[in-house]
A and B are shown apart, each in its own frame.
Chain A
Amino acid sequence: MIPDLGIYAVEVTSAYVLSISLLITILVLSLLRARKIRAQLLKVEASRLLNNV
């Protein structure tokens, strides 16, 4: 199943590994930050309601 990349195996594989890692990193960081901020906003809105601001 693994294709024969010949003498360029290192170049092609490293290009894929680096690029896919970067894409996964930006996706995971974006989702984690979104979740964190959503939770923080809920907390802030709850305390606003409690304080009746």
Chain B
Amino acid sequence: MDLKNALPVPVRSKCSICNETIEIRTFGLCRSVACAKCSAVFKYDAVSHYLTHQRTLSGSIKVPYLQPGDEGTLFDRRYLVTGWVVKKETSTSFHWTEYHLFNPVHGFAQLSLFDGHWTFHEAMRVYPRPANINDIVLFERNAYEVFNTYQCRVIDAAGEFTEDPKDQEYAKVREFIAPPYMLTRELRDNELTWFHGRYVEPGMVKAAFAKNTAPPVRTGVGACQPMRMVIPAHVLKTLSVWILALFVLTQFILAISWSPKELLKGDLAMEPSVPNEPIVSNSFHLDGWRNGIELFLRANGVDNSWFEMDGMVVNDATGASRKFTFNLEYYHGYEGGEHWREGGVDDAIVFSNLPAGDYHLEMYPTSDPKRRIAYANIRVEERPRLWSNFFFLLLLAMAFPLIIWWRHSSFETARWGE
């Protein structure tokens, strides 16, 4: 139901400065009105409806998004916009707009707009209590941190108010935040008032007041703007420890229960019986649907020399093959009073996803002409322990908390940097 239709017909007066029509809808609650055209502020007499000119404000910086008389539904309550005030911090150039909202049952509320960020405020009936730690206050299981302390100047106003907008300049204001909530403490002439605020998405304001134009674009991070998809630090920490434990335990269990099984082992002569023909190993059988094997080569004869072996893992039945190359180099010496060594005499290659079947190895060895290798040890194991998988996936798993922490940190830095 529209409030304007439910409320009595507004009192209409004329601005004595610019002759603009001024409508008053809050009747007996109204103490002051400001002309939207010339920013003249009048004292309002609710009995005689007489307007007494008090002052003229310096004028607004921007055109307000909501105008007196606009109606909208926020948090299931129908509100009428009765006025707006543009304020500026006394010690900085920050300025913002406060829209005054009225509901005949629930009373007054405010919708403040700063850098495109909207916050809905209501006066509190129950006040928060101090936590005695770093000026933190507690309210409904949330701890609120001090965000800002300031006094303000009123630059412009329009609409009707329960007091002279200029009176708000005397208030000492302190804001506490626990996003998406905010508590505002106003102390004026020994009168203390607390307001409870809640961040409102700009799209919600546009929809609530059925506006055709887009609300002001957001810049930076709002004082009580909640971060989307946020995971609290203590939750992230707990989850990270559990993830680490889960991955280590899983790999430990896999390493024990899925241990390698030897399929082939032996010292093979590295000189083919027939020149240019491959050295062929015995067959070994793989019976899993998909199998991983690890091929080990050890040539102890490599000593200040190299040994190379091209080869294939060949399926006996289909002839399908997988190629490989081993390059072994081992050099060592004594130079400048120090021993040095480089390379090694063994190496290993992992093959995965091999279908079930019988396989053999075909190898083409090449030795350093200065040092021929007569024998090399070949070993084939199935179910290799894939430590690279473990470290790679653990790294990825640990990257998630780091990315989330970085996002959160950047967001909070932007919030507190405002």
User: Is chain B a partner of chain A in the same complex?
Assistant: no
